[in-house]
């Protein structure tokens, strides 16, 4: 049932709802999110934890004039539904459907793309400063920051700068870890009601006005302010935010809707300085299985909405993440100086088992990618052999540290770059944009394993190098590819199949695509060689140029041609004889979200499309 949601075409439609209707609306939102995510997959527990908070914000503030930014944007499902996207919500994370994050091209209520953690407060500061400069003095900017994003370096940089801003910015701290005790919270709740109340603030302003006219008025005002501040500081952990220039309010029960609305109505009237509102929420609230396993249901595939049991998909496979984790354990068992690092992604990068087996040799630094890389550089300088496991899309956040702290100083740090390639979550999470930056890094080797066995060999080979090395692999099955395997030789490609007319070069798991395309070509009478590139850097230029003299070259990569394998090949062919080249890669620009199979089909990346294009280039009938 969605009787109330059917009537909601935008935030204005909840302004006049009764308290009972708003509570019922929360129930409908919860049921809708569970139902849709159970089919499509997505972020369940974080969204169930912010439903009442979202309703309260849209009840009190006036979006889109007031801006609400979610950090991270995967918490914005209720926000999407309440801002006119209820009818389209069943399409979330589907090709051509709604994004799983805030997306300005979808709605004027989404101020920013918010797929990476930690940037909302900086963006909010910019909007608030622009409002001030443009005379929009009544416009509010609300940054809802949770799921570890507040500990990100960018957030901390923004906090350090926040005192420069004098008004109309509200930081909502979505604290879903229950870090403040109940007794302290209860006392503070009463104090918060007083300090945010209109009467109290008007009275305080009047007292200050009168005292300033007295000989010792300034000293008395300072004393009163200190008493108010110290009282709050003794009761809650607000010192940090007060020192950063915020007025601190909270903690507030994030599931008490009437209380949230009441507090935000008062907070909206405070314009003298930025405000930090501490809201306590429960991940998975209202859903027993999500509450009991919030990490499991943070981001999930399809599941049974009644029991929470994950639905059986294709036969379980051995992923590259798991293969990397197992290989790293084997390396660490042999070499005690090996340590592992990750930035709040121990499970996703396959390091959970390593963390349990080698507790003293494992570092999870939180959502702090730059720190993670620089920290690894320090470990390497101290004689250890650090291995950083990180998603391709998040590695982009640490590129300066990769250059300055690793490559420039030739530190022997190994990077396991996971999710290197297109993924379902869309442009903020595709791992197709890092190579143009990385190929130019001095002294950095870049390897692309075809399967689990090759990954293990490459990891051990990387250890033997006294220099930085990156292993890039996709989010996919890593089961061994059953074709002949040549010994791993540093800087050399692997000829998997011989051919005389065409030479197909692939990186990593794209070997499967290359083999399938070659089989289709052979069925049409075309002799196609298949080469597993293995090393993007150092690249096997000798083999490529030899192949180019007599064969049409074809490159297949799970990245963009302009900065990956295609670029390397083009650079080599510019001044060398060749029979031509065809590139198959992701296009320039922004690749949308959706099924990777559909993305491949729409961009000519399937074996059938590749074989057809090669036949056309050769002048053969497809």
Kindly report the length of the chain.
622
pLDDT at 412: 97
284 and 392, same domain (yes or no): no
In a shared domain, residues 157 and 254: yes
Show the tokens assigned to 609. Answer: 């499309």
Question: Whole-angstrom Cα distance, residue 191 to residue 176?
Answer: 22
Looking at the fold, whether 50 and 176 belong to one and the same domain comes out as: yes
Q: Could you tell me if 101 and 150 lie in one domain? A: yes
Question: Using CA atoms, how far apart are residues 2 and 4, in angstroms rounded to an integer?
Answer: 6
Number of domains in the chain: 3
CA 376 to chain centre: 21
Confirm if 522 and 497 have CB atoms less than 8 A apart: no
Q: Do both 383 and 500 map to the same domain?
A: no
Please give the full DSSP string across 541-583, using - where no structure is assigned. HHHHHHHHTTSEEEEEEEEEGGGSHHHHHHHHHTTS--S-EEE
Picking from 81, 174, 189, the residue whose alpha carbon sits closest to that of residue 121 is 174
The region, left, alpha or beta by phi > 0 then psi within -120 to 50, assigned to residue 264 is: alpha
Asked whether residue 218 is domain-assigned, the answer is: no
User: Does 531 share its domain with 411?
Assistant: no
Please tell me the number of Cα atoms within 13 Å of 148 on its side-chain side. Answer: 15
Contacts of 464 (CB under 8 A, 6+ apart): none
Looking at residue 82, its pLDDT comes to 93
* 437 close to 490: Cβ distance less than 8 angstroms: no
CB burial string 229-264: b at 16+ within 10 A, e below: beebbebbebeebeebbbbbbbbbbbbbbebbbbbb
Backbone torsions φ then ψ of 108, nearest 5 degrees = -70, -10
Residues 6+ apart with CB under 8 A from 450: 481, 508, 509, 511, 532, 534
Residue 403: its pLDDT value, please?
94
| Of the candidate ranges 43-57, 181-195, 527-541, the one whose mean pLDDT is the lowest | 181-195
* Active-site residue, 397 included: yes
Range name among 35-49, 111-125, 183-197, 568-582 with the lowest pLDDT average = 183-197
Count of beta carbons in the 10 Å neighbourhood of residue 280: 21
442, 472, 502 - which closes a domain: 472
Confirm if 540 and 569 have CB atoms less than 8 A apart.
no
List all residues 6 or more positions away from 568 whose beta carbon is below 8 Å from its beta carbon: 439, 536, 537, 539
- 361 compared with 225, residue with greater pLDDT: 361
In the prediction, which pLDDT does 256 show?
94
Bigger pLDDT: 112 or 356?
Answer: 356
In this structure, are residues 593 and 93 in contact, taking their beta carbons and an 8 Å threshold?
A: yes
pLDDT value for 221: 55
- Whether 56 and 260 have beta carbons less than 8 Å apart is answered as yes
Does the pLDDT value for residue 199 go beyond 60?
no
162 shares its domain with 36:
yes
498 lies in some domain: yes
| Percent residues over pLDDT 90 in the chain | 51
Side-chain-side CA neighbours of 377 within 13 Å: the count stands at: 18
Identify whether the C-beta of residue 101 lies closer than 8 Å to the C-beta of residue 90. Answer: no
Q: Tell which wins on pLDDT, 313 or 158.
A: 158
Residue among 282, 369, 454, 547 flagged as catalytic: 369
Q: Is the pLDDT of residue 129 over 90?
A: no
Question: 499 and 463, same structural domain?
Answer: no
Position 220 confidence tier, pLDDT thresholds 50, 70, 90: low
Contact 32, 105 (CB under 8 A): no
Is residue 302 a part of any domain in this protein?
Answer: no
Share above pLDDT 70 across residues of the chain, in percent, rounded to a whole number: 88
CA torsion through residues 65, 66, 71, 72, sign: negative
**Measured distance CA(536)–CA(568) in Å, rounded:** 8
More confident residue, 312 or 38: 38
420 in the same domain as 370: yes
Task: Check whether residue 555 and residue 510 sit in a common domain.
Answer: yes
Per-residue pLDDT tens for 263-277?
Answer: 999 998 887 788 899
For 324, list phi and psi in degrees, rounded to 5: -65, -45
- Asked if residue 484 belongs to a domain, the reply is no
Question: Residue 168 and residue 137: Cα distance in Å, rounded?
Answer: 8
Is residue 79 domain-shared with residue 121, that is, in the same domain? yes
Indicate if 444 and 501 belong to the same structural domain.
no
Who has greater pLDDT, 191 or 564?
564
pLDDT at 503: 95
E strand or H helix that includes residue 276: strand 275-280
pLDDT at 416: 96
Let me know if residue 298 belongs to a domain. no
**Catalytic: 283?**
yes
User: Residue 117 in contact with residue 367, Cβ under 8 Å?
Assistant: yes
What is the model's pLDDT at position 218? 64
For residue 510, what are the CA distances in angstroms to 280, 376, 416? Answer: 46, 30, 18
* Mean pLDDT within 488-509: 95
Question: Which pLDDT does position 297 carry in this prediction?
Answer: 83
3-state helix, strand, coil in the chain (%, to 5): 45, 15, 40
pLDDT at 189: 52
From 440, 472, 504, the end of a domain falls on 472
Q: Is the pLDDT of residue 215 over 80?
A: no
Residue with tokens 């320090």: 378
pLDDT reading at 53 higher than 70: yes
- The string of pLDDT tens digits covering residues 288-347 is 999 888 888 888 888 888 998 888 655 568 999 999 999 999 999 999 999 999 998 888
235, pLDDT greater than 80: no
Arithmetic mean of pLDDT, 87-108:
85
pLDDT at 187 over 70: no
The torsion region of residue 28 among left (phi > 0), alpha (psi -120 to 50) and beta comes to alpha
369 is catalytic: yes
Mean pLDDT score of the chain = 86
* Last-in-domain residue among 255, 275, 292: 292
Q: What's the CATH code of the domain at 599?
A: 3.40.50.920
- Least trusted range by pLDDT, from 76-85, 158-167, 549-558: 158-167
Distance of CA 136 to the CA centre of its chain: 32
CATH code assigned at 9: 3.40.50.970
Q: Tokens for 134?
A: 């443009």
pTM for this entry: 0.81
Give, in order, the Cα–Cα distances in Å from 271 to each of 132, 141, 168, 267, 407.
12, 11, 5, 8, 47
In a domain, 230, yes or no: no
Per-residue model confidence (pLDDT) at position 271: 77
pLDDT number for residue 213: 63
Q: What pLDDT, on the 0 to 100 scale, is given for residue 411?
A: 96
Residue whose pair of structure tokens reads 């100086």 in the numeric block: 337
Contact yes or no for 414/388 (Cβ under 8 A) = yes
Question: What's the domain range around 112?
Answer: 5-180+237-292
Q: Which of 173-177, 418-422, 481-485 has the lowest mean pLDDT?
A: 173-177
* 594-614 per-position pLDDT tens digit: 888 999 999 999 999 999 999
Name the band, by pLDDT with cuts 50, 70 and 90, for residue 350. Answer: very high
Cβ–Cβ under 8 Å, residues 476 and 419: no
- Asked whether the beta carbons of 257 and 52 are under 8 A apart, the reply is yes
pLDDT of residue 325: 96
Q: What is the pLDDT of residue 112?
A: 83
Q: How far apart are CA 104 and CA 610, in angstroms?
A: 34
Given the residues 30, 85, 247, 283, the one annotated as active site: 283
- For the ranges 182-191, 402-411, 556-565, 569-578, the lowest mean pLDDT is seen at 182-191
d(CA 13, CA 499): 66
CA quadruple 164, 261, 55, 23: dihedral, nearest 10: 160
Residue 186 belongs to a domain: no
Residue 193: inside a domain, yes or no?
no
- Which of these is catalytic: 140, 266, 397, 551? 397
């Amino acid at each position: 049932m969605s009787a109330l949601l059917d009537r909601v075409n935008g935030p204005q439609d909840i302004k006049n709802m009764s308290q009972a209707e708003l509570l019922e609306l929360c129930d409908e939102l919860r049921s809708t999110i569970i139902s849709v995510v159970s089919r499509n997959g997505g972020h369940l527990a974080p969204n169930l934890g912010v439903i009442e908070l979202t309703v309260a914000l849209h009840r009190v503030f006036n979006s889109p004039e007031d801006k609400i930014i979610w950090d991270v944007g995967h918490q914005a499902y209720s926000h999407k539904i309440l801002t006119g996207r209820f009818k389209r919500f069943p399409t979330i994370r589907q090709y051509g459907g709604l994004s799983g994050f805030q997306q300005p091209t979808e709605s004027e209520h989404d101020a920013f793309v918010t797929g990476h953690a930690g940037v909302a407060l900086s963006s909010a500061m910019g909007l608030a400063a622009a409002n001030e400069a443009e005379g929009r003095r009544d416009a509010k900017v609300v940054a809802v920051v949770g799921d570890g994003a507040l500990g990100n370096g960018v957030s901390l940089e923004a906090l350090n700068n926040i005192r420069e801003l004098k008004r109309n910015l509200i930081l909502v701290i979505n604290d879903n870890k229950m870090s403040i005790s109940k007794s302290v919270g209860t006392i503070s709740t009463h104090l918060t009601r007083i300090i945010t109340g209109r009467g109290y603030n008007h009275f305080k302003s009047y007292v200050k006005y009168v005292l300033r006219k007295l000989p010792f008025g300034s000293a008395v005002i300072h004393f009163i302010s200190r008493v108010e501040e110290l009282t709050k500081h003794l009761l809650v952990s607000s010192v940090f935010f007060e020192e950063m220039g915020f007025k601190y309010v909270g903690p507030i029960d994030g599931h008490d809707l009437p209380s949230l609305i009441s507090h935000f109505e008062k907070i909206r009237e405070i314009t003298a300085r930025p405000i930090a509102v501490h809201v306590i929420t429960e991940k998975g609230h209202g859903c027993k299985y999500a509450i009991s396993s919030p990490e499991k249901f943070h981001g999930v595939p399809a599941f049974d909405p009644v029991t929470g049991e994950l639905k059986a998909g294709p036969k379980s496979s051995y992923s590259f993440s798991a293969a990397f984790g197992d290989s790293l354990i084997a390396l660490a068992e042999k070499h005690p100086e090996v340590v592992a690092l990750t930035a709040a992604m121990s499970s996703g990068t396959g390091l959970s088992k390593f963390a349990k087996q080698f507790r003293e040799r494992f570092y999870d630094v939180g959502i702090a990618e730059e720190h993670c890389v620089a920290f690894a550089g320090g470990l390497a300088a101290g004689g250890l052999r650090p291995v950083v496991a990180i998603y391709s899309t998040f590695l982009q956040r640490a590129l300066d540290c990769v250059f300055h702290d690793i490559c420039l100083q030739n530190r022997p740090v190994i990077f396991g770059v996971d999710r290197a390639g297109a993924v379902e979550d869309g442009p903020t999470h595709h791992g197709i944009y890092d190579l143009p930056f990385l190929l130019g890094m001095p002294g950095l080797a870049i390897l692309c394993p075809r399967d689990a066995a090759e990954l293990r060999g490459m990891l051990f080979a990387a250890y033997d190098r006294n220099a930085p090395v990156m292993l890039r692999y996709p989010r996919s099955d890593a089961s061994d590819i059953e074709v002949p395997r040549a010994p791993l030789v540093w800087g050399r490609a692997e000829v998997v199949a011989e051919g005389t007319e065409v030479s197909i070069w692939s990186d990593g798991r794209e070997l499967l695509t290359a083999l399938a395309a070659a089989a289709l070509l052979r069925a049409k009478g075309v002799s196609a060689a298949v080469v597993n590139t293995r090393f993007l850097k150092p690249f096997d230029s000798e083999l490529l140029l030899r192949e180019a003299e007599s064969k049409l070259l074809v490159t297949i990569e799970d990245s963009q041609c302009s900065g990956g394998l295609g670029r390397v090949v083009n650079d080599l062919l510019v001044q060398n004889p060749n029979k031509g080249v065809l590139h198959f890669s992701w296009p320039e620009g922004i690749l949308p979200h959706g099924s990777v199979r559909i993305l491949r089909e729409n961009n000519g990346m399937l074996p059938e499309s590749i074989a057809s294009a090669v036949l056309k280039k050769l002048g053969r009938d497809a």
